[in-house]
Amino acid sequence: MIKDKYEKYIFPSLAEARRRIQKETEHIRYQLPDHLRGIGKDRKYFIKTYGCQGNLADSEKMAGLLEAMDFRPAEEEGAADVIILNTCAVRENAENRIFGELGRIKHLKTENPDLLIVLCGCMPQEEVVVARVLEKYPHVDIVFGTHNLYRLGEYIYDAYFSKEKVVRVYSMEGKIVEGVPVRRAHAQKAWVNIMYGCDEFCSYCIVPYTRGKERSRDYRDIIAEVRDLAEKGYQEVTLLGQNVNAYGKDFPDASYTFADLLSDLRQIAIPRIRFVTAHPRDLDLRTIEVMATRGNIMPHIHLPVQSGSDRILKKMNRKYTRETYLELISQLRSHIPDIAITTDIIVGFPGETEEDFAQTLDLVRKADFEGAFTFIYSPRSGTPASKYVDDLPAVVKKQRLQELNKLVNEGYLKGNKRFEGKTVKVLVDGPSDKGAGMLAGYSEHDKLVNFPGDKSLIGKIIYVKIEKAYTWHLRGIIA
Ligand code: SF4
């Protein structure tokens, strides 16, 4: 057993990570230990982030921790003294890319023997990954997972002073740690975690194993964070959770829900509030009603459906039917008539027949999505679906994806067309890739808008008259 060979390290176990213990989550406040201060003086860090918004938010915390230790950001990896790969385990090809990356940066270690290479995030939560890293990538100095990010400083300290490899991957979720320093990547938009982990166990998904059980932050901490962001001039917050609609379900009395949180945050003078990801099983009428009161809650929802076939939804363990999903869409539209709805869809799930796929296409037409992330099913070792017989030829899966994308793209265009001739509010992100003198930003409905304008507008919310809609963006002029 490889674990026995490396017994001095803390190894993960996916089997253990599946267990759910009904103990209350401990909440603690982070304080940077004194011995870590100054370690980063004259040293630089470089973080490469893969995967979802949760990882982007984690990387901002790691950057905050490093800067509290006096590290400074490096412009490029070759100039860094610490390189961190914050990884994603959702798809196998993403994992392969990250292994490729680990091989590619090996030479930097020869050029700078003091360089620390860190692998963290979701991938190390899989024991096969840690074993492969130890056997094939000896130049990796630090490996840790998703539950102990706040201890990054200690691991760097240990690696520098003990000159030994540090491998600390815990299978069970840890505490909720408040007060970890954050270096936000964007000056106007902020991620705000409201909860961690996932208890849904969709049969194809590795996240409940890599991120642990659902743990909600105390709503007073979330409100304080959003208030602080508003005072600092942030224009937009995006509330993050694998299933934000399950927020508060793990509280001992479960009396404060996501709808309550949205309603409380709505009172704060921050111009825009968004959230990802919603789950059709837990999205309730109260949440829709709070969204319908508008104010600073943006008229967009990303509501992953994954399949339009009840048979496949059951195999996916999604715990809703196409009928209940479509009912939710109709409730959303009756309460918020102009809402933009986007989704995620997997094609080629094991056992998906032509009829199942036809049901998906039919649901896409009925739901009138204005966008979708579409994927071919990718088996993840350790999940129930990875044991299902998957005999659909790759070429058929590709054809289905193409057919689906054609329909989805029509939805993108139709969703954009409805804004032609209208004036929309745009939060200006920065220069556009559409040419010199062009700016880009997002409308309230989360549409990408390009328009000519001066850079002094970056960070502001302005009115733009839409002249032309394209599939992937809108083009307009300042109103
Ligand atoms: S809701 Fe399902 S797909 Fe989303 S993170 Fe949880 S298990 Fe994965």
pLDDT digits (tens, 9 = 90+) for 463-476: 999 999 999 999 99
Percent of the chain with pLDDT over 90: 89
Mean pLDDT score, 121-147: 95
Give start-end residues of each CATH 3.80.30.20 domain in the chain: 176-366
pLDDT of residue 231: 98
Q: Residue 2: which pLDDT band, with cuts at 50, 70 and 90?
A: low
Return the CATH class of domain 2-168: alpha beta
The pLDDT of 134-151, averaged and rounded, is 95
Across 159-173, 176-190, 201-215, 420-434, least confident range: 159-173
> With 90 as the cut, is the pLDDT of residue 72 above it?
yes
Strands (E), 159-234: 166-168, 176-178, 189-193, 195-196, 215-216
Q: What is residue 17's predicted lDDT score, i.e. its pLDDT?
A: 86
- Give Cα separations from 178 to 130, 160, 181 (angstroms): 28, 27, 9
205 lines ligand 1 (CB under 6 A): yes
Q: Cβ–Cβ contacts within 10 Å for residue 183, how many?
A: 16
The CA distance from 150 to 36, in Å, is 13
pLDDT at 328 over 70: yes
Evaluate if residue 1 carries a pLDDT over 70. Answer: no
Look at residue 14 in the predicted model and tell me its pLDDT: 83
**Distance between CA atoms of residues 343 and 306, nearest Å:** 8
Q: Is the dihedral of CA 304, 310, 315, 319 positive or negative?
A: positive
For residue 9 and ligand 1, the question of a CB distance below 6 A is answered with no
pLDDT of residue 149: 95
With bands split at pLDDT 50, 70 and 90, how would you rate the model's confidence at 88? very high
Nearest partner of 57 among 203, 229, 230, judged by Cα:
229
Confidence of residue 443 (pLDDT cuts 50, 70, 90): very high
Banded model confidence at residue 175, pLDDT cuts 50, 70, 90: confident
Is 198 near ligand 1, meaning CB less than 6 Å away? yes
CA-derived radius of gyration, the chain: 23
Task: Give the pLDDT confidence score for residue 28 in this predicted structure.
Answer: 93
Question: What is the model's pTM?
Answer: 0.95
Probe ligand 1: pick from 90, 195, 200, 247, max atoms within 8 Å of CB? 200
Helix (H) or strand (E) holding 360: helix 354-367
Query: Residue 354 Cα, ligand 1 centroid: separation in angstroms?
Result: 25
For residue 188, pLDDT beyond 80: yes
Distance 436 CA to ligand 1 centre (A): 41
Q: For residue range 388-420, what is the model confidence (pLDDT) as tens digits?
A: 999 999 999 999 999 999 999 999 999 999 999
Give pLDDT, residue 198: 95
Which atom in ligand 1 lies closest to the alpha carbon of residue 201? 7
Q: What is the mean pLDDT of the chain?
A: 95
For the chain, residues classed under CATH 2.40.50.140 are 423-478
Q: Is the CB of 453 under 6 A from ligand 1?
A: no
Q: Determine whether the shortest distance from the Cβ of 77 to ligand 1 is under 6 A.
A: no
Nearest residue to 236 via CA among 392, 428, 92, 97: 428
Predicted confidence at residue 3, as pLDDT, reads 66
Segment 254-304, tens digit of pLDDT: 789 999 999 999 999 999 999 999 999 999 999 999 999 999 999 999 999
Is residue 144 within 8 Å of 152, Cβ to Cβ?
A: yes
Q: What sign results for the dihedral spanned by CA atoms 238, 271, 189, 154?
A: negative
| Among the listed residues 245, 186, 103, 222, the one whose alpha carbon sits nearest the alpha carbon of residue 459 | 186
Summarize the confidence of residues 239-257 as an average pLDDT: 93
Ligand 1 centroid vs 277 CA: distance in angstroms? Answer: 9
CB distance 242 to ligand 1 below 6 Å: yes
- CA distances for 419 relative to 238, 296, 345, 408, 478, angstroms: 23, 20, 25, 18, 14
C-alpha of residue 5 to centroid of ligand 1, in Å: 33
Residue 254: predicted pLDDT: 76
Spatial separation of the C-alpha atoms in residues 384 and 200, rounded to whole Å: 13
Residue 6 has pLDDT above 80, yes or no: no
Give residue 302 CA to ligand 1 midpoint distance, Å: 14
Residue nearest atom 2 of ligand 1, based on CA coordinates? 202
Pocket test for ligand 1, best of 20, 240, 242 (most atoms within 8 A of CB): 242
Q: What angle do helix axes 354-367 and 322-335 make, rounded to 10 degrees? A: 10
- DSSP string over 292-323: HT-TTB-SEEE---B-S-HHHHHHTT----HH
CA 59 to centroid of ligand 1, rounded, Å: 21
203 lines ligand 1 (CB under 6 A): no
Q: And the tokens for 284?
A: 């309730």
- The dihedrals phi and psi of 248, each to the nearest 5 degrees, come to 85, -10
What separation in Å is there between the alpha carbon of 207 and the centre of ligand 1? 6
Contact 149, 58 (CB under 8 A): yes
Centre of ligand 1 from the C-alpha of residue 46, in Å: 29
Per-residue confidence (pLDDT) for residue 23, from 0 to 100? 73
Q: What is the pLDDT of residue 121?
A: 97
Percent of the chain exceeding pLDDT 70 equals 99
The residue whose CB lies within 8 Å of the most ligand 1 atoms, and thus the one to mutate among 201, 205, 282, 303, is: 205
At residue 13 the predicted structure's pLDDT band, cuts being 50, 70 and 90, is: confident
Identity at 245, one-letter amino acid code: N
Tell me if 201 CB under 6 Å of ligand 1.
yes
Q: How far apart are CA 429 and CA 442, in angstroms?
A: 8
What is the CA(202)–ligand 1 centre distance, in A? 6
Q: How far is the CA of 257 from the centre of ligand 1 (A)?
A: 19
Domain spanning 176-366, CATH architecture: Alpha-Beta Horseshoe (3.80)
Full DSSP string of 97-161:
HHHHHHHHTHHHHHH-TT-EEEEEESGGGSHHHHHHHHHH-TT--EEE-SS-GGGHHHHHHHHHH
| Atom 8 of ligand 1: nearest residue by CA position | 205
Amino acid 435: pLDDT: 92
Residue 4 pLDDT exceeds 80 = no
Q: Hey, what CATH topology would domain 423-478 get?
A: OB fold (Dihydrolipoamide Acetyltransferase, E2P) (2.40.50)
The pLDDT assigned to 253 comes to 83
